[in-house]
Amino acid sequence: MSGPAPARRPPEADGVRVLPAGPRALLVELAGGEDAEAFHAELLRRREDGRLPAVTEIVPGARTVLLDGVEAGDRDGLARDLASWRVPPLRRGTGDAVEIAVVYDGPDLDEVAALWGVRAEEVAALHSGTAFRVAFCGFTPGFGYLTGLPAHLHVPRRTTPRTKVPAGSLALAGPYTGVYPRPSPGGWRLIGRAVDPAALWNPGREPAALLTPGAEVRFVPVAGGAGGAHGAHGSSAAAGERA
């Protein structure tokens, strides 16, 4: 993360609500997702600079940041302090990006293309041309909720979740893009797959997660080969919803 970004719009402290979450935690609620990402970035900067009281966890959410493990006695003072912060707005695509090689051949590619009003072949360029950022993690270790898609490319979840989504699946739901680190049930729309799913989560590596909150991310499209893992994707896409 680079140094503090210059504020380009008037700083706003309104829209910040600091809610107690038990005696040792604070939930900071922001007006929107973008504000929450900016607030989280500011928290990390201040922690890095030693300007934040000790906390055990800083957990971003969709519109919130949770500070857990606040020292007893610090909570209310910290709450007042947080509510008064002037936070510079978030800037996207300014740092080094984590690159993830993906094949755009997911079983829901045609559906997503239809929702976007483009041809299936255009989904890869539109998606991989987006500067993504990890807004928050959750669901399973190493799963990041990536923002960056403009509102007109947001798609609803599937009405019927899949009972099994393969590891590495590249998926969309609402404002988010995600890559499944391991097989799991899931209701997101699958548009492709990471070439190296094992890179997403490796507890023997530091950091264990490839995608950590605040990280910039770019998807790099690669041609799909005749590999084993994606046969299922390819065939179900071919069998798919075009008819």
Degrees, nearest 5: CA angle 3-57-86 = 40
Scan residues 86-105 and list those touching other proteins (CB under 8 A). none
Query: 27 or 109: whose CB is closer to other proteins?
Result: 27
Residue 60 binding other proteins, by CB under 8 A: yes
Residue 64 binding other proteins, by CB under 8 A: yes
- Choose, by CB under 8 A, the member of 4, 129, 203, 227 that binds other proteins: 203
Tokens representing residue 165 in the block = 């989504």
- Choose, by CB under 8 A, the member of 105, 116, 213, 215 that binds other proteins: 213
Contacts with 66 (C-beta within 8 Å, 6 or more apart), sequence order? 21, 25, 26, 27, 28, 57, 58, 59, 60
- CA–CA distance, 131 with 126 (Å, rounded to integer): 11
Degrees, nearest 5: CA angle 237-233-224 = 100
- Choose, by CB under 8 A, the member of 11, 22, 161, 227 that binds other proteins: 22
- CA–CA distance, 50 with 84 (Å, rounded to integer): 18
Nearest to 191 by CA among 142, 141, 140, 122: 122
Residue 166 binding other proteins, by CB under 8 A: no
- Choose, by CB under 8 A, the member of 42, 61, 147, 219 that binds other proteins: 61
- 17 — alpha (psi -120 to 50), left (phi > 0) or beta? beta
Q: Which stretch binds other proteins (CB under 8 A): 45-53, 58-66, 76-84, 162-170?
A: 58-66
- CA–CA distance, 188 with 211 (Å, rounded to integer): 18
Query: 184 or 236: whose CB is closer to other proteins?
Result: 184
Encoded one letter per residue, x for contact with other proteins by CB under 8 A and - for no contact, window 122-151 reads --------------xxxxxxxx-x------
Query: 107 or 168: whose CB is closer to other proteins?
Result: 168
Q: Which stretch binds other proteins (CB under 8 A): 60-68, 101-109, 115-123, 216-224?
A: 60-68
Pairing mode, if any, of strands 169-173 and 176-179?
A: antiparallel
Residue 235 binding other proteins, by CB under 8 A: no
Residue 209 binding other proteins, by CB under 8 A: yes
Query: 77 or 203: whose CB is closer to other proteins?
Result: 203
Q: Are 210 and 134 in contact (CB under 8 A)?
A: no
Residue 237 binding other proteins, by CB under 8 A: no
Question: E strand or H helix at 68, and its extent?
Answer: strand 64-68
Binding site for other proteins (CB under 8 A): 19-25, 27, 33, 56-66, 68-69, 136-143, 145, 203, 207-209, 212-213
